[in-house]
Amino acid sequence: MNTNLLDTKTLTLNEILGNGKIYRVPQFQRDYSWEEENWEDLWNDILNTYTAKEAHYMGSIVLQIKGDERDKEFWIIDGQQRFTTLSILTLALIHKIKDLAKQGIDPEQNNERVELLLKQYIGQKDPASLLYSSKLFLNETDDSFYQRLLNFKEPLNPNKLKSSEKLIWSAFLFFKDKIETQFIEEKNGELISSFLTKTVAEQLKFIQITVVDELNAYTVFETLNSRRVELTSTDLLKNYLFSLVAKSETDLKVVKNQWKKIVEAIGLKKFPTFLLAFLNGNSSLVTEDKLFKAIKSKVQLESDVLNILDQLESYAYIYNALSNSEDELWNGDKEIKENIQTLNLFQVTQCYSLLMVSMDKLEKAEFKKILRAIVTISFRYNVIVKVQTKLMEKVYNFVANKISSGEFQKSNEIISNLKGIYISDEMFKTYFELKSLNTENSQQKKIVRYILYKIESQMENGIKTSFDLDDGTIEHILPENMDEHWSSLFSEEDHSNCIYSLGNLTLLEPIKNSKDAARLSFQKKLPVYNTSRFAITKEIKGNEWSVKMIKHRQANLAKIASGIWKI
């Protein structure tokens, strides 16, 4: 690869932006996406550099020479988020100096500083329009707004901006506020200029890698990614796919539009997870760090690009529906909606590859049976026993590939091949008897409600309703906060061990929980329980509540549970 590199060297921002160089973000690169966490990190790095007066390494940037404009105009293959953010920060610093001039503070000198800094870091003023033409041009989504910002034009209605434009504007306001705070006592244009020219532009260091053509650019891009530089599998894939069709403007336009449609459907942050699920349903098991290589091995030709995008678009709608029980894909099917909702409650996604392929390749009735089985498997495996997910991923991958190839077509055969991740009754009951779920945690509280309502629905005269629709509350038989009476029965250690045990939890009407039961003694709670509409609560009996009673009740619940969550 070294023979393909035009140059590799360490440069400051001053050196990068000097000598009339122009940088362009390729039209198919992602939009501006940095958020406050990223801005905060950058600002803190700059302040530390300012205080310590030591250089700070900003990582690698990959540039490709544009056309025949050697050493003058470049595509930014990697580094656009940092480039853009530093330009926004620079504008905010210049804006501060401009404000000082408006306030009558050294107006002549500060106005001259503004002109010099704009020319050095932002660009040249057009003699006709008197507007600044940038050293940096963003992609087609962001550039028009960015160019307006360079000329200090505020948006008329920030709420109407596109999402990436809102981020650019928010970044500008963020750095304006930080600069105002940093220099609140020093209304000194020279000091602020020095902060820009000596700290930001001289102390921030980049490794600049310059290549001569697209192929070498993507090779470097991939290599950096393998070394865990700030690149994403989505960026890699997008650039690779677009490079394969770049020779045809028509094809590139079609591919761009389809890519945008898919990413907008899934969302940029979830896109790598979606890609993994897609690949693992149609090929051998892929891990996230091998994602790009796996796609690259499948897509070699221009026709391959069009084929895989068609598949991704089709699967995108299924993937989205798996995380939304109200999606129109489920067409009001109550059972499917409830099972999708339950999987989302469990926060289980390893099964998506199998479910996506099943939905695509099998009859709906077969899909429903598989979905029902996976909910049971997930409850036993992921919620109660909490086994490592590596085996689960391997099994789902194996079965998904069999469905994809047409070898498995019936649900009974598919479910039979999932037995390796089906927790046995004995193991399930053992773990269930020991299970505690902290109801202070909102996610675990929902799971407790789900479990209690499921058990309630199986009991004689039990209420058959969904946990998320009914107004029943979780009652802690041994209260969360002990009074003197309960303290005489339970040590602090016993209280800590038992309070969130499933055997200590039941369902109760809101009014009874908040007023009648509260922190009463067990004997005084029993009459309240006896008047409850919940069968799971009415059956609670005994002379006194104890560690032994909690364990005994939880063992009984485990027996019921093993019959409910069963294939």
Torsion angle, CA of 469/538/504/479, rounded to 10 degrees? 90
Greatest C-alpha distance within the chain: 93
Q: Hey, what are 116's tokens? A: 């010099």
C-beta neighbour count of 35 within 10 angstroms: 12
Residue 225 has a pLDDT of 54
* Closest to 244 (Cα-Cα) out of 233, 235, 256, 252: 252
Residue 530 has a pLDDT of 94
Helices 352-361 and 364-378, interaxial angle, to 10°?
170
The whole-angstrom separation of Cα 388 and Cα 383 is: 11
Residue 166 has a pLDDT of 94
Render each residue's pLDDT in the chain as its tens digit; 567 residues: 344 445 677 889 888 886 678 899 887 677 899 999 999 999 999 999 999 888 888 888 888 887 655 558 888 888 889 999 999 999 999 999 999 999 999 999 999 999 999 888 888 766 666 666 688 999 888 999 999 898 888 888 988 899 999 999 999 999 999 999 999 888 889 999 999 999 999 999 988 888 776 556 656 655 655 444 444 667 667 777 887 887 788 888 898 889 989 988 898 778 888 988 999 998 888 887 777 778 888 888 888 999 999 999 999 999 999 999 999 999 889 999 999 999 999 999 999 999 999 999 999 999 999 999 999 999 999 999 988 888 999 999 999 999 999 999 999 999 999 999 999 999 999 999 999 999 999 999 999 999 999 999 999 999 999 898 899 999 999 999 888 999 999 999 999 999 999 999 999 998 887 765 667 899 999 999 999 999 999 999 999 999 999 999 999 999 999 999 999
The whole-angstrom separation of Cα 168 and Cα 185 is: 27
The whole-angstrom separation of Cα 222 and Cα 297 is: 13
Place of tokens 């067409």: 331
C-beta neighbour count of 222 within 10 angstroms: 16
C-beta neighbour count of 179 within 10 angstroms: 21
Q: How far is CA 414 from CA 34, 98, 354, in A?
A: 43, 69, 10
Q: Hey, what are 438's tokens? A: 């902290």
The whole-angstrom separation of Cα 52 and Cα 33 is: 30
Q: Hey, what are 144's tokens? A: 């028009």
The whole-angstrom separation of Cα 76 and Cα 61 is: 8
C-beta neighbour count of 265 within 10 angstroms: 16
**Quick check: 154 and 145 in contact, CB under 8 A?**
no
Classify residue 68 as exposed, middle or buried by CB count within 10 Å of its CB (0-12, 13-18, 19+). exposed
Residue 169 has a pLDDT of 96
Place of tokens 């040249």: 124
HSE, side-chain direction, 13 A CA sphere, residue 155: 17
Q: What is the pTM of this model?
A: 0.67
**Quick check: 431 and 557 in contact, CB under 8 A?**
no
Q: Which residues, 6+ apart, have CB-to-CB distance to 86 below 8 Å?
A: 13, 42, 200, 204
Work out the angle at residue 10's Cα, subtended by the Cα atoms of residues 179 and 136, and round it to the nearest 5 degrees: 55
**Quick check: 477 and 495 in contact, CB under 8 A?**
no
Helices 442-458 and 547-564, interaxial angle, to 10°?
70
Helix and strand totals (H; E) in the chain: 27, 10
Provide the residue ranges of all domains of the chain, joining segments of one domain with +.
Answer: 2-214, 232-322, 328-423, 431-564
**Quick check: 151 and 132 in contact, CB under 8 A?**
yes
**Quick check: 538 and 532 in contact, CB under 8 A?**
yes
**Quick check: 438 and 444 in contact, CB under 8 A?**
yes
Q: What is the DSSP string of 8-41?
A: EEEEEHHHHH-TT-EEE--TTSPPP---HHHHHH
